[in-house]
Amino acid sequence: MPQDKDFAAPYRITDGRRFRLRDIDPGDTGGLKSKDKARESLAAGVEQLAALQEKLYAQDRWAVLLVFQAMDAAGKDGAVEHVMSGVNPQGVQVFSFKSPSPEELDHDFLWRTARCLPERGRIGIFNRSYYEEVLVVRVHPEYLKGQHLPEELVTKRIWEQRCEDIAAHERYLSRNGVKIVKFFLHVSKAEQKRRFLSRLDEPEKNWKFSAGDVRERGHWDEYQAAYEDAIRRTATKDAPWYVIPADNKWFTRLAVARAVVDTLEGLDLHFPRVGEEQRRGFAEARALLEAEGGGKAAKKKR
Ligand code: ATP
Ligand code: MG
């Protein structure tokens, strides 16, 4: 019987140099055979997450940034929705990054995401991120023209340089107390086709269908190569990637929840400790409250 610890740790990459995408099977379910077992473990993970998040918020020291990247229809939105279902919405901020606006294009490529970084005590979620700059832009280098970069800076080494800058940015953030975890939801080409077809076949899913997504699918191998290279260059101990099998949504959600729990558990979170002085203040406050007597105000709910 697989244990909870088996659902995320095997997919964590902390040293990208030896990473190969083909070593991770999109159909893997961590040894679990049924959805039912997964449902139980997911529920347990979501509950743990809620308790950890409360401490994260109260402690107000660490910020947590969860980056989600994937091919279309890999289940990013569903994973975010399920995993965060139990947490206090005030402690979580979700940002989706689509094609950049003209204002965003007039800035360096980290500008738009830097403005959305989570505050201490919060969990920030990036649904797509600055990684698009070495993924979609690499697959469509013509997008670089829209970025108005000085010509001499656009060389063959630009992707390598961008990955280096991303890694440096993440190291900087981690030195400032932002715990970064990156997820690549790894879906197979065959499963993506099935999901696109069900978007066409099922009326309530029609709204999700986009002909553009089918065109992007034509660049499948280039995207996979770009993902592999980006992960190889940016997976570190401080900012690990989790490459999560994504052909079974029930497993993806469970693995992501477990990865987030593992991450928070690694932070030594605790409620702020109350000092002597504060405790004396408590005694005074209690005395004041009790002196009010048993009138109306005392009965009122807080
Ligand atoms: P869904 O799963 O609902 O399709 P999505 O994240 O794919 O969600 P879309 O609105 O379909 O959202 O697509 C956003 C598009 O924006 C993606 O195709 C992505 O590659 C593109 N994009 C994101 N960042 C950049 C960027 N920096 N430069 C160019 N394109 C980008
Ligand atoms: Mg899309």
What are the tens digits of pLDDT across the range 3-45? 887 899 999 999 999 999 999 999 999 999 888 889 999 999 9
* Residue 266: predicted pLDDT: 96
Residue 301: band (very low, low, confident or very high) from pLDDT cuts 50, 70, 90: low
Which of 95, 84, 79 shows the shortest CA–CA distance to 53?
A: 84
Of the two residues 300 and 177, the one the predictor is more confident about is 177
* 109-132 per-position pLDDT tens digit: 999 999 999 999 999 999 999 999
Mean pLDDT confidence for 165-191: 98
DSSP string, 188-257: -HHHHHHHHHHHHH-GGGGGG--HHHHHHHTTHHHHHHHHHHHHHHH--SSS-EEEEE-SSHHHHHHHHH
The finding on whether 178 has its CB within 6 A of some atom of ligand 1 is no
* Residue 1: predicted pLDDT: 72
Looking at every residue in the chain, the average pLDDT score rounds to: 94
Cβ pair 69, 183 in contact under 8 A: yes
Mean pLDDT confidence for 195-200: 96
| CA atoms of 3 and 36, how far apart (whole Å) | 15
* Residue 257: predicted pLDDT: 96
Measured in angstroms, how far is the CA atom of residue 31 from the centroid of ligand 1?
32
Mean pLDDT confidence for 66-94: 95
* 207-217 per-position pLDDT tens digit: 999 999 999 99
| CA atoms of 291 and 302, how far apart (whole Å) | 17
The finding on whether 137 has its CB within 6 A of some atom of ligand 1 is yes
Q: What percent of the chain has pLDDT over 90?
A: 91
Name the residue at shortest CA distance from atom 1 of ligand 1.
Answer: 72
Measured in angstroms, how far is the CA atom of residue 205 from the centroid of ligand 2?
13
Angle between helices 249-265 and 76-83 (to 10 degrees): 50
* Residue 300: predicted pLDDT: 54
* 259-272 per-position pLDDT tens digit: 999 999 999 899 99
Mean pLDDT confidence for 167-179: 98
Q: Is the dihedral of CA 241, 245, 246, 251 positive or negative?
A: negative
State the closest ligand 1 atom to the C-alpha of 96, by its place in the atom list counted from 1. Answer: 6
Best probe residue, ligand 1, of 128, 134, 140, 165 (max atoms within 8 Å of C-beta): 128
Looking only at the bridges linking them, the beta strands covering 178-186 and 241-245 are parallel
| CA atoms of 96 and 94, how far apart (whole Å) | 7
* 274-297 per-position pLDDT tens digit: 899 999 999 999 999 999 987 555
Mean pLDDT confidence for 145-156: 96
* Residue 4: predicted pLDDT: 83
| CA atoms of 141 and 138, how far apart (whole Å) | 5
Name the residue at shortest CA distance from atom 9 of ligand 1.
Answer: 98
DSSP H or E stretch at residue 92 = strand 92-96
* 54-63 per-position pLDDT tens digit: 999 999 999 9
Residue 282 half-sphere exposure, CB side, CA atoms within 13 Å? 6
The finding on whether 126 has its CB within 6 A of some atom of ligand 1 is no
Measured in angstroms, how far is the CA atom of residue 99 from the centroid of ligand 1?
6
* Residue 299: predicted pLDDT: 53
Is pLDDT above 60 for 302?
no
Beta pairing partners, 186: 245
The finding on whether 132 has its CB within 6 A of some atom of ligand 1 is yes
Residue 243: band (very low, low, confident or very high) from pLDDT cuts 50, 70, 90: very high
* Residue 281: predicted pLDDT: 94
Grouping H, G, I as helix, E, B as strand and the rest as coil, residue 13 is strand
Sheet of 123-127: strand order equals 12-13, 241-245, 178-186, 63-70, 123-127, 92-96
* Residue 212: predicted pLDDT: 93
Best probe residue, ligand 1, of 69, 72, 96, 98 (max atoms within 8 Å of C-beta): 98
